[in-house]
Every structure is written in C-alpha cells, then in structure tokens.
Amino acid sequence: MKTALITGATAGIGQACAHILAKNGFNIIITGRRAERLAEAAQELHTTYGVQVHTLCFDVRDRQQTFDAIASLPPQWQSINLLVNNAGLAMGLASFEEGNMDHWDTMVDTNIKGLLYVSKAVVPLMIKHQTGHIINISSIAGKEVYAMGNVYCATKHAVDALTRSMRLDLSKFPIKVSMVCPGAVETEFSIVRFEGDVERAKKVYHGFENLVADDIADAVWYIASRPPHVNINDIVVMPTAQPMAGVIHRKN
Ligand code: NDP
Ligand code: 8X3
C-alpha cells in the first residue's frame, strides 16, 4: 500500500485530499496544529476507508518542530509516496501601504517557508526509496495578482516558482513535482483571512457558485493516479463564474 502525507488536513482542501486518497487505498499521514481535529479526522478516515492513519501535530512555520515531526515517523511510515503541500493561508486584504506586517510574516512563514521545511524533511525519505511525488497547492493568486492581494499573491507566485525549480532538481531521482492552482474555494480560508469574521467571509462566496474542497481533491487525485511515466505539471481549477483572479460574476 502507498502512503500519502498531507499537510493542513484538519480542514478544507487538505481534509478532502485525505478522503479521496484514503478512498483510493492510500495509508494517510495527516498534519495540522489542531490536535483534536487531527484525532477526529484520523478516526473518521480509518473507520470509513479501513486504511491506516498517522497524525503529526506541528506548526509548519517552526523548522525544528517540522523536522522533529518527520523524524518521529515510525519506520513503516517513512516510505512516503506522495506529499501534498497544502497547509497555507491568507491573512487580511489590504492595499500595500496599509498592509499589516504581522500578516505578511505569517503568510511568508507558512506558505513559503513551511512548504520548504516540510519538503526538505520529506525529500530525503523519497530519495532513499528512489520514488516520490510532491503536489503543491498554489493558487490562481500564484498566476495572477489581484487588488489588495499583494503579499498573499507573492507567496503563491513563490510556490509556482518552487514547484518548477523542485521539478528540475528532483526529477532525476525520479521524484515527480506537480501543482494545483485553485480559484475561490469555500473552506475556512476566508474565515482565517478575516480573523474569524464569519459574516465577512460568507460575502466572498455570495451570488455565484464557488468551488468546494472536493473539486480540488479531484484534481489532486487525477495527478496522483497517473502512471509512473506521466507527470501532470500544473492544473488551474476555477469556478466558472471566476474568469481570473479578483473577477467574479455575481448574480446579486
Ligand atoms: P483552510 O483554512 O480550510 O485549511 C487550511 C489548513 O492549513 C488547515 O488544516 C490548517 O490547519 C493548515 N495550516 C494553516 N497554517 C498552518 C501552520 N502554520 N502549520 C500547520 N498547518 C497549518 O483553507 P483551504 O483548505 O482553503 O486552504 C488550503 C490551501 O489551499 C492553502 O495553501 C491555500 O492558500 C490554498 N488555496 C485556497 C483557496 C481557497 O479559495 N480556499 C484557493 C487557492 C488556494 P491547522 O489550523 O489545524 O493548523
Ligand atoms: C485564493 C484564491 O481567488 O479566492 O487562493 O483569492 S482567491
């Protein structure tokens, strides 16, 4: 059986990826900072799909915690076939000159440095087994910019650049590196972005049919289920009503 490690699997897209991979027979390592949610998710995945589930509770921004967590994996969990670098967030929506620098730090530390730390800790395990696949969750914000998205867009552009660079460097092992770039998906993303303001978060998805986490998990599964000689470099998944970043056709 294959093993997948999914970061940020306590909610949203990561949780949906854990489900589709477990449904297709992967044993699952799920990570996040909320221990209770990890325990609940592990129980649900095991009961629903009969797969083995291991949890790692750590903050991807913390280099030591990240390396300690991966090093703590029991030997049978160290053959990681698939890493889904999903943990990430946006904080705030502000014109550059009004930007909150604590928000900037959190986004850079999570979306860029967190992805780097997890990958750096997992790649040696993949090299050891001469196989592996990394799927990075970037965003349409990694392809285009939108008003007041400045630093979030920059972090996701970095994920795009890192995906291409990692593919160049790691394909020789061979490790596949792929990316999924979603448009607006209703998850906890906007609640986090607006620091718990649920009413403001709801307005983001008002008047059009947004994507749901399963739409992105479908793309991840498509990428993960190709044969060894095929790598899907990149999939951009958008709501039909969102033709580009920052543009949404709303009915009312
Ligand atoms: P959610 O807020 O629903 O989920 C985010 C997940 O990331 C949670 O499981 C959270 O776990 C985890 N996470 C956040 N910060 C950390 C951290 N410091 N350490 C460890 N885990 C962390 O959002 P989504 O599911 O929507 O977001 C998933 C990814 O998809 C992100 O990278 C996001 O940028 C990207 N994306 C989202 C889009 C959207 O519209 N929703 C569109 C495009 C891309 P916990 O809090 O337990 O630590
Ligand atoms: C978030 C994408 O379009 O909701 O990564 O800002 S969007």
- Cα separation, 90 vs 246, whole angstroms: 14
71 Rama class: left (phi>0) / alpha (psi -120 to 50) / beta: alpha
Residue 124's pLDDT is: 98
- pLDDT for 252 beyond 80: no
* Closest ligand 1 atom number to CA of residue 13: 25
- Cis ω on the peptide bond leading into residue 182 (within 30° of 0)? no
Phi and psi torsions of 234, nearest 5° = -160, 135
Residues β-bridged to residue 53: 28
Gyration radius of the chain's alpha carbons: 17
Cα–Cα distances in angstroms (integers) from residue 129 to residues 16, 84, 136, 248, in the given order: 27, 18, 20, 44
Q: Which pLDDT tens digit goes with each residue over 63-74?
A: 999 999 999 999
Ligand with minimal distance to 57 CA: 1
Q: Which pLDDT tens digit goes with each residue over 110-120?
A: 999 999 999 99
- Cα separation, 40 vs 235, whole angstroms: 30
- Cα separation, 34 vs 99, whole angstroms: 28
Query: Does the beta carbon of 185 sit less than 6 angstroms from any atom of ligand 2?
Result: no
- Report the predicted TM-score, pTM, of the whole model to 2 decimal places: 0.98
pLDDT-based confidence at residue 131 (cuts at 50, 70, 90) = confident
What percentage of residues in the chain have a pLDDT greater than 70?
100
Choosing from 140, 159, 186 the residue with most ligand 2 atoms within 8 A of its CB, the one to mutate for a pocket test is: 140
